[in-house]
Amino acid sequence: QSALTQPASVSGSPGQSITISCTGTSSDVGSYNLVSWYQQHPGKAPKLMIYEGSKRPSGVSNRFSGSKSGNTASLTISGLQAEDEADYYCCSYAGSSWVFGGGTKLTVL
């Protein structure tokens, strides 16, 4: 299984919106509505932000939203805040395995 493709970095100013893309194949993202997104601050464990492509776990801000089109999933963060600065990873179930993206570093300017 090859890693999903994410941009290495994105940036935005406080209050702005950013979108992180996650491109897979017809064997993973395209086949299952089971993309999840994780936020990881330096030295910390990852935190689930989105599951099943667009659902938010309890306690996750509604500033975080997810979508999918074909083989590409996206995470959008609106109203950027300083605490959103972190690494973000997408992940897709691929039938008897899971595959992560390479990660995207979000910088809040």
Determine how β-strand 64-69 pairs with β-strand 72-77. Answer: antiparallel
Closer CB to another protein, 43 or 62, in the complex: 43
For position 24 contacting another protein by CB under 8 A, the verdict is no
For position 89 contacting another protein by CB under 8 A, the verdict is yes
As a residue count, the chain comes to 109
Determine how β-strand 98-100 pairs with β-strand 104-108. Answer: unpaired
38, 71, 86, 108: residue in contact with another protein (rule CB under 8 A): 38
Taking Cα atoms as reference points, which of 31, 12, 25 lies closest to residue 75?
A: 12
Instruction: Compute the least distance from the CB of residue 83 to another protein, in Å.
Output: 18
* Total interface residues for another protein by CB under 8 A: 25
Taking Cα atoms as reference points, which of 97, 96, 102 lies closest to residue 3?
A: 102
Tokens for 30, please give them: 């395209």
What residue ranges bind another protein (CB under 8 A)?
1, 3, 32, 34, 36, 38, 40, 45-48, 51-52, 57, 89, 91, 93, 96-103
